Structure 1
């Protein structure tokens, strides 16, 4: 029998739900797993929990013998049990966090820091007038960009099952149920857990790019179409509550979404022009389906009769203008909906949307679409019809009817258009250089482009862009690589004309080292008719975002961008495209290259340099943050990350990547998606106060200290990874990287070059993922302790200075808070077990000792600076969440070490393959337990 909810605290409620879900999982294992699986799971869990409390060599040896004595199939089932446990814990935590927020809202209290309520109240208390707050709102753009990266191991079908458990759990907690109804709900959860047990959580086949596109679409269909309108409603309520309904503060639509899935071709040979074309049409198909369903519901709801209300003249005029369409195109009787103007208007809107959808589907299926009626010419026309209905309802006193589902649909249409997301295209700079070199070489008498200096390249490129007939091209004679590069730009031009101007976002150039890399892409755009000069002057329908991702590139960002901003041709093209420059900053490669301290600080400095450059030249600049899920790739809580940006660099706009398992964590449930969007937007609002009042500049002494810390940190990090003999062997042998490369969780290869085991070849994502799997989490903290210790030099005054920095400066506080989380997730005792896998054990032991020493040093220094006795004391809920997972993570890690050893040591291919299944499942399971590991 469940304890009544009014008799337990929120913490007790969460623990009760975790225990309930775990008990139900135990029932499923008892009934449906192989013999002894439940016993093994419990013995391992209890045993490793005891080891956490007190080391016992005899118990440790006994547990390892138990693991090593298990056959592959039993091990796989044990791992699957742990994986489902993590999913159930995640579900319980999401559910309880959501219910706690709802309880706080119901109590009428001031809400949590990061809520719209608290944020708007803070602005009002600080004397920000309604007019100034309105001005700030009008400058906002919040733009998360979804990317497909090989760290999201969860299949869509698994997410859907956990969603059903979430909803039943919510019923158990929020509804008054009798004993029989409670039993029915418990049986529903048991059934879903049983389905999870009978469903393979590991993909049988490696996903294709289009599978990844479908995975991305899941979050919109199941969550974001519901969450986005509610986020606007919550902000509107907060504004009304604080500033009053009569102050006239209007909340514009400022949320947009981007995607790289199906557009990111850097290092992924499977993203072809055809793939991009199909991706865009799948986006359009989904959003049109959503609009059609909502229009149908509105048609049932808005049954107003013209006999009892007077529609606006504009709506009546529109109905008159559409009469031919009603009769000739739709084949409707003039009498149908004669006295129900909104139903008539909505029926026509539905028909037009249906025509748009039919055309999209015909093209997806490679059928002729010319016979399909045109439908809406653009999403602007669709929105105009929605505004007509809204204004007409308000006109005859039915504003409340206009404020419901109709306003939600307006918010969706303003947010998603007919394109759903702005698809960014990404390609590596050398592909453009190679294409341009070949194109120049094919022209009679043309010099060798690659022999040019940077100045000569810029001159040749600008002259060719401005030329009315730049190149004579016979595509059939080009290399396949150059032909494909050209076709990407042609696809952009074609789909902009077919679906709309907003269908694509930015053209991102990775590894941008020079201004010519941007101008090369501009010339390719010119060849596709996207940019150039005609009789009316310059035009440009492509915005390019150079990506700076290595430490060296970040240090030279001002030289590259200064050259571009001062180049007459680029100036003209930029002005023609709206005079806004987006610059992307890469967190992943810079961290892999120079360590977390140097990376973070160089990114901080780069932002200030680029914003100052743009401001000096009167260019609007938006920064695009290429963050990953884990701290080692720029991850961490979004609210704090935005507030930690340099002063006066967030001018109302923020764009950032959302990657890997972070997508399902933040956006799989609409309740969590609302919260995550709210926290990010409130951070954006706070960070953008510089738009309406002079900002408080960062202290020069703090900046100087970070300069010094960064230098010390980069020196220590590079000494480890570049100067320590055998370090890359340690990485390859003491992490499950060989398993990660085989796991069917992403379409993109883990290495840029297959046979290359160098630091430059390994991608930043598997680099971080591998260290996380082996419980080192090294990229997120290594060298921070060394840097602080060198700076402090046993000087108490310097320690006091760092402690004040931690209290006063959001950047430094976020840095050390994220470091604490990474240190907490690391487990040096377990990392030591992976050393047993090394071929040169003596060398690996030596490297491990270097890592362990720095871990202990970083732990000591961070706790001293933060003034804490233990890690994450300031975030107890997150600390408890991570600790709760350790009881299952620990045995999983030991299982993974044992399986890796068997997998690598088995000489016979068939027998080796038997160990691959538990290995891949262990990687999935540890990723689920650690959450933001990639």
Structure 2
């Protein structure tokens, strides 16, 4: 008899669905429950059996809903999407544990698999492994974007439900315990039902900072040290020579929240100061709590255990003079560390910590001093036969202090190059009237900027009143300088320039950094990385040329010496996709990376790529493991950063175990990619030529629809929820960069999010069908065979197809047609949606031809199962959302209808999971 591995998942979904149904019946009445249940049954029947009668009955039921019934249906199905996600995450954890318990071979994406792959390939030994970790950097970076639709209160409810499911799964409960757990689940589901999904006020940047910090409390502060410990133990087991090795803090979590000013006027120097203080509060309180617990654990008595001279000295310096602890040197030492850290808290934050120390003490000068004291405790325990004790809470705390310091997470600063240009122009004009910086060509601008960088003389004067914009920008960099002095240089490490298109964009930032003392030309000192962000198709094509010209400047090369001759480059997935479509964006990014690898190697500069990926495939999303492995040779040189955006943060890191697994995947993929054997041969020219031909044709098709079809902009705004997303309180920045409805001005995030909501998913596939059809027409004899070979032998192309497969499986043109009906101009509706439908059909057809599948996701049964489980609950939400949009747009403002739309947006986003 075959064991049904998915049976526990279905059981959990049924259980949570039953509890939700019971809650609806109790709270809304039997009639509401019966209506929702009829809708659910018909939707499931239609999806399971393709029952046309079920579909007709479903549509009749949904069309006949009153306003009050509509809100109840939207809420019920939205909450079910959330509950299904919890059950699915729990099933992933369950299956991972089952594999480990059974002693199965390590799975792809695990550290065990990566280490085996590297050592087994023969291209790396233990020395190479340690060299990798000594200079590696793996950094997911949290960003705040207007697709994070979850309230923190909802996430808290979901955390409770996930914990209770986990207890049911792991523990053998007595009947009374099982009943108590079930009752607790019932209470948690009721609390979820009674908790408001929507925000009543627009998020502020401080709200976004608070939300981001919750993931450090939940996941990062605890799971990241455990991951380091597991990796060190795994390395020791794989190679005896690596036993006892402590890795450098190569895995770090970064943040943009509070430092990303591009298009967000609410991020000011004051907000940056607040963000840094909030982060320090979280990490210092974590350390203090851990030290309090550690002190209670290290109760060893002097007469029963030895202590090193350094430990004895640490205990003697402690202000803890209690007679009850006179013979407990470890406890007194920890008490002293606590007292010093409490003083550090007071000095950095200006307030006393929640739990006071036994007495006053001197604050730590920096986090390294704290680490040194913790190391003293560790070394004494090891030297005196108590190494086992040092491997518990102390090991986690020592690791946390090394990774998180007093700053918790490095905050990146980001601003648009246009802003830097205006500020520099004003500073130069006031210092030297008639300069007219903005009228200069590129060579003239660079000459002026290089002249400024050659002198330590400041450009800005404290006696001059500059424009509000310039004052704000200068204040940000001065705040960054203060942060370095207060929290350490790790607090702010990167300054990113959006819309970089030439060398002057980088030199402008360099001059502004000089004004704040973050760049000191006489010392060739540069305290932060200057990071260009190449976003559009044209910018990606010019990226290597810009860096070539930058590296030819002696002043800049000298400054790079202060950054270990490492240059970071950020690549934008979102805007390049909106600019040229999915296929062309992916190819432009791949070519840009390859060209950058060559350019950097020629100049002897280490390349670190920062991937600006979103959650959806249309914004560079998709499985991280495959994405990293599909990078060109040399593009991952032991260092990689990538953004974690929107609702993906909650999906990846809201559950601690899921979060640790996602962190492990990033490390494993970076290790494998960096140390994999060099390719036997470059990518075959036939592959490159075919890809270029596909890209050209796909771009023509995409731009022909999006930018060259008269009325397309109107079609988009009428057929999607973009207007309602723009009004939703889900982010601190506006949906468009300017006050217009132009596609060019729309941020890529709401662009992709809107297409996801209406189940078209256009940014993740449009243009591919046309491109392949054109290619096959030009190569009728061998074209298909070539594309099939590319899918088998080229990881870049295979990953591209896999991501498209996922997007197409989540799309539904029948549902999309209902959104198209919202377009008032019939001829425009038929023209545009007709093209979308035809392209969708063509894309699915050619994808199946190339992959050899008979249906979508045939090669990914796990995702196929996930979609099968959740889509019967998504379809009613889409149908009701269309009806609510129609009522809202025809009958004007009605708060309940508007709230219903916003709840449906929340539910659909939860059901699709990676939609923004």
The verdict on how the C-alpha distance between 1:624 and 1:860 changes in structure 2, with shifts beyond 3 A counting, is: same
How far did residue 59 of structure 1 move? 6.1
Tell me the alpha carbon deviations over residues 495-553 of structure 1, each in whole angstroms, 9 at most, x when there is no partner: 1111111001210110011111111111111111111323xx32221211110000010
Match status 1:779 vs 2:763: yes
The verdict on how the C-alpha distance between 1:246 and 1:211 changes in structure 2, with shifts beyond 3 A counting, is: closer
Distance in 2 between residues matched to 1:232 and 1:103, nearest whole Å: 22
Deviating more after overlay: 541-550 vs 789-798: 789-798
The verdict on how the C-alpha distance between 1:848 and 1:153 changes in structure 2, with shifts beyond 3 A counting, is: same
Q: Could you tell me which residue of structure 2 aligns to residue 608 of structure 1?
A: 594
- Aligned equivalent of 2:566, options 566, 580, 586: 580
Tell me the alpha carbon deviations over residues 39-73 of structure 1, each in whole angstroms, 9 at most, x when there is no partner: 22222223334444677777656544433433333
Distance in 1 between residues matched to 2:530 and 2:360, nearest whole Å: 35
Distance in 1 between residues matched to 2:125 and 2:464, nearest whole Å: 63
- Aligned equivalent of 2:409, options 384, 397, 421: 421
Q: Could you tell me which residue of structure 1 aligns to residue 221 of structure 2?
A: 225
- Aligned equivalent of 1:668, options 635, 638, 654: 654
How far did residue 180 of structure 1 move? 2.6
- Unaligned 5+ segments in structure 2 are 354-358
How far did residue 249 of structure 1 move? 6.1
Distance in 2 between residues matched to 1:465 and 1:496, nearest whole Å: 21
Distance in 2 between residues matched to 1:914 and 1:102, nearest whole Å: 45
| Contact 2:348 2:486 (C-alpha < 8 Å) held by counterparts | no
Counterparts of 1:827-838 in structure 2, within 5 Å, are 827-838=812-823
- Aligned equivalent of 1:94, options 62, 73, 89: 89
How far did residue 262 of structure 1 move? 0.8
Q: Could you tell me which residue of structure 1 aligns to residue 356 of structure 2?
A: none
Counterparts of 1:345-384 in structure 2, within 5 Å, are 345-362=333-350, 375-384=363-372
Distance in 1 between residues matched to 2:370 and 2:767, nearest whole Å: 55
Question: What is the Cα-based RMSD across aligned positions, in Å?
Answer: 2.2
For 2:406, what is the secondary structure of its paired residue? coil
Distance in 1 between residues matched to 2:228 and 2:300, nearest whole Å: 27
Match status 1:103 vs 2:98: yes
How far did residue 791 of structure 1 move? 1.8
Distance in 1 between residues matched to 2:194 and 2:48, nearest whole Å: 35
- Aligned equivalent of 2:907, options 908, 925, 929: 925
Match status 1:689 vs 2:675: yes
Deviating more after overlay: 31-40 vs 646-655: 31-40
- Aligned equivalent of 2:111, options 113, 116, 119: 116
Counterparts of 1:23-422 in structure 2, within 5 Å, are 23-34=18-29, 36-52=31-47, 63-127=58-122, 128-244=124-240, 251-319=247-315, 323=317, 326=318, 330=319, 332-333=320-321, 337-362=325-350, 375-422=363-410
- Unaligned 5+ segments in structure 1 are 1-5, 366-370
How far did residue 357 of structure 1 move? 1.7
- Aligned equivalent of 1:844, options 822, 829, 832: 829
The verdict on how the C-alpha distance between 1:845 and 1:57 changes in structure 2, with shifts beyond 3 A counting, is: farther
Q: Could you tell me which residue of structure 2 aligns to residue 706 of structure 1?
A: 691
- Aligned equivalent of 1:896, options 863, 874, 881: 881
Deviating more after overlay: 229-238 vs 107-116: 229-238
How far did residue 133 of structure 1 move? 2.5
Q: Could you tell me which residue of structure 2 aligns to residue 629 of structure 1?
A: 615
For 2:609, what is the secondary structure of its paired residue? strand
The verdict on how the C-alpha distance between 1:642 and 1:420 changes in structure 2, with shifts beyond 3 A counting, is: same
| Contact 1:436 1:520 (C-alpha < 8 Å) held by counterparts | yes
Counterparts of 1:759-798 in structure 2, within 5 Å, are 759-793=743-777, 795=780, 797-798=782-783
How far did residue 683 of structure 1 move? 0.7
| Contact 1:805 1:813 (C-alpha < 8 Å) held by counterparts | yes
For 1:423, what is the secondary structure of its paired residue? coil
**How many residues are matched?**
909
For 2:489, what is the secondary structure of its paired residue? coil
| Contact 2:633 2:678 (C-alpha < 8 Å) held by counterparts | no
Deviating more after overlay: 816-825 vs 77-86: 77-86
How far did residue 590 of structure 1 move? 0.1
How far did residue 883 of structure 1 move? 1.8
Q: Could you tell me which residue of structure 2 aligns to residue 368 of structure 1?
A: none
Distance in 2 between residues matched to 1:876 and 1:667, nearest whole Å: 24
Distance in 2 between residues matched to 1:632 and 1:703, nearest whole Å: 22
| Contact 2:633 2:679 (C-alpha < 8 Å) held by counterparts | no
Match status 1:641 vs 2:637: no
Q: Could you tell me which residue of structure 2 aligns to residue 874 of structure 1?
A: 859
Match status 1:799 vs 2:784: yes
Distance in 2 between residues matched to 1:227 and 1:898, nearest whole Å: 44
For 1:36, what is the secondary structure of its paired residue? helix
Distance in 1 between residues matched to 2:45 and 2:770, nearest whole Å: 32
How far did residue 347 of structure 1 move? 0.8
Tell me the alpha carbon deviations over residues 705-725 of structure 1, each in whole angstroms, 9 at most, x when there is no partner: 212211111111111111112
The verdict on how the C-alpha distance between 1:136 and 1:533 changes in structure 2, with shifts beyond 3 A counting, is: closer
Q: Could you tell me which residue of structure 1 aligns to residue 847 of structure 2?
A: 862
Tell me the alpha carbon deviations over residues 337-361 of structure 1, each in whole angstroms, 9 at most, x when there is no partner: 4332211211111011111222343
How far did residue 275 of structure 1 move? 0.5
Match status 1:916 vs 2:912: no
| Contact 1:647 1:698 (C-alpha < 8 Å) held by counterparts | no
- Aligned equivalent of 1:460, options 448, 473, 495: 448
Tell me the alpha carbon deviations over residues 726-751 of structure 1, each in whole angstroms, 9 at most, x when there is no partner: 11111111001111011111111001
Q: Could you tell me which residue of structure 2 aligns to residue 679 of structure 1?
A: 665
- Aligned equivalent of 1:561, options 522, 542, 547: 547
The verdict on how the C-alpha distance between 1:373 and 1:511 changes in structure 2, with shifts beyond 3 A counting, is: farther
Tell me the alpha carbon deviations over residues 62-89 of structure 1, each in whole angstroms, 9 at most, x when there is no partner: 5444334333333222111111111111
Distance in 1 between residues matched to 2:814 and 2:499, nearest whole Å: 38
How far did residue 247 of structure 1 move? 6.4
How far did residue 208 of structure 1 move? 0.7
Distance in 2 between residues matched to 1:129 and 1:866, nearest whole Å: 37
Deviating more after overlay: 371-380 vs 348-357: 371-380
For 1:271, what is the secondary structure of its paired residue? coil
How far did residue 799 of structure 1 move? 1.6
Tell me the alpha carbon deviations over residues 621-657 of structure 1, each in whole angstroms, 9 at most, x when there is no partner: 2000000000000001111110011111100111000
Q: Could you tell me which residue of structure 2 aligns to residue 499 of structure 1?
A: 487
